[in-house]
């Protein structure tokens, strides 16, 4: 059922429609903390968190390689990079990206949060 | 002033190649920019210590399963015997390689990766990168080179 409230008088869609996919209810599934001195690199920490969310072994998370989904090197440089000429270049904030059905948020504080749209909760596991 | 003691120019001792040389000279601008461009994958490939290790292993063996490679690199990095590498450590290395360093090196044409068999083989740029690693020598990670060299020596005595 469509509501006329979704549209302005001249027929253009309201701005809120444009953000639709992100507005669906997200359920928190897993969390991990990345330490820059850790022997686990950011890529590994993220995949381990996704594996935790999916309840499978990390080595079974294959498709796609995280490299294909997001530029982890850029996030690592921006948030956790080495000092340049004695000055930190650490940014503050967070980056969110999609990995299959999961939304992964990496914060500059090192927290990695994995959530999935609520609609996925009740779906049976794919055969 | 060029005296008789000067070493002969390489090209002059191979007169048959002078035509190639002048062709190369005519194309000098193109050749220079090309060679600089070709260095980019080299720098990117060796920018991370884990990728340097990976490329070193290709000098030893030209075909690796990702599983074996993960075990070997974990052993090198932690200075531990391969049989003592914990499953978790190997899985962490495997994940790091699979999701980050392997696709990066594939992008740079340094390695080729068969996703079905999870096998790594050298790519078109592997030689360039290996040469750069050998040339850079001691300025890289010393321990890393030591590991790699001790493996080569063992190969030699077989």
d(CA A71, CA A75): 7
A39, A43, A57 ranked by CB distance to B99: nearest: A43
Provide the pLDDT for residue A84. Answer: 73
**Given an 8 Å threshold on Cβ–Cβ distance, is A67 in contact with B94?**
no
Chain A residues bordering chain B (beta-carbon distance below 8 Å):
39-41, 43-44, 47-48, 57-59, 61-62, 65-68, 72-73
| Nearest CA-CA distance, residue A39 and chain B, Å | 9
pLDDT score at A9: 47
Contact: A41, B100; criterion CB under 8 Å: yes
Nearest to A67 among B91, B94, B100 (CB): B100
CB contacts of B80 in chain A (<8 Å) are none
What ipTM goes with this model? 0.75
The number of angstroms, rounded, from the C-alpha of A121 to the middle of its chain's C-alpha atoms is 17
What pLDDT score does A123 carry? 57
Q: State the smallest CA–CA distance between residue A12 and chain B in angstroms.
A: 42
Predicted pLDDT at B153? 56
Q: Is the pTM of this model over 0.80?
A: no
* B103: nearest Cα among A48, A50, A47: A47
pLDDT, tens digit, 9 for 90 and up, residues A3-59? 444 444 444 444 444 344 555 688 999 999 999 888 899 999 999 999 999 999 999
Nearest to B100 among A43, A57, A59 (CB): A43
Q: In what order do the strands lie in the sheet containing B111-114?
A: B64-65, B119-122, B111-114
**Which of B48, B98, B101, B103 best tests the A interface by mutation, with the highest count of A CBs <10 A?**
B98
| Residue pLDDT, tens place only, A49-107 | 999 999 999 999 999 999 999 999 999 988 988 777 777 777 889 999 999 999 999 99
* Parts of chain B with a pLDDT under 70: 1-38, 136-158
């Amino acid at each position: 059922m469509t509501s006329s409230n979704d549209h302005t008088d001249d027929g253009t869609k309201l701005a809120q429609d444009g953000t639709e996919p992100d507005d669906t209810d997200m359920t928190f599934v897993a969390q991990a903390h990345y330490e820059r001195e850790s022997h686990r690199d950011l890529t590994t920490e993220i995949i381990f968190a996704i594996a935790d969310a999916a309840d499978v072994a990390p080595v079974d998370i294959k498709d796609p390689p995280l490299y294909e989904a997001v530029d982890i090197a850029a996030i690592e440089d921006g948030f956790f990079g080495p000092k340049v000429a004695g000055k930190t270049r650490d940014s503050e904030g967070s980056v969110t990206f999609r990995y299959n059905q999961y939304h992964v948020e990496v914060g500059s504080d090192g927290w990695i949060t994995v959530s999935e749209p609520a609609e996925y909760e009740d779906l049976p596991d794919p055969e | 002033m060029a005296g008789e003691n000067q070493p002969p120019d390489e090209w002059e001792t191979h007169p048959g190649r002078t035509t190639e040389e002048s062709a190369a000279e005519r194309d000098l601008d193109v050749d220079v920019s090309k060679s600089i461009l070709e260095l980019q994958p080299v720098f990117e490939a060796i920018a991370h210590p884990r990728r340097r290790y990976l490329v070193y292993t290709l000098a030893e063996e030209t075909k690796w399963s990702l599983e074996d490679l993960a075990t070997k690199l974990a052993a090198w990095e932690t200075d531990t015997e391969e049989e003592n590498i914990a499953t978790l450590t190997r899985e962490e290395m495997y994940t790091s390689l699979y999701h980050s360093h392997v696709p990066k090196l594939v992008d740079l044409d340094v390695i080729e990766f068969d996703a079905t068999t999870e096998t790594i083989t050298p790519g078109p740029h592997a030689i360039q990168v290996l040469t750069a690693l050998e040339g850079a020598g001691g300025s890289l990670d010393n321990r890393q080179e030591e590991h790699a060299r001790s493996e080569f020596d063992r190969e030699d005595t077989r």
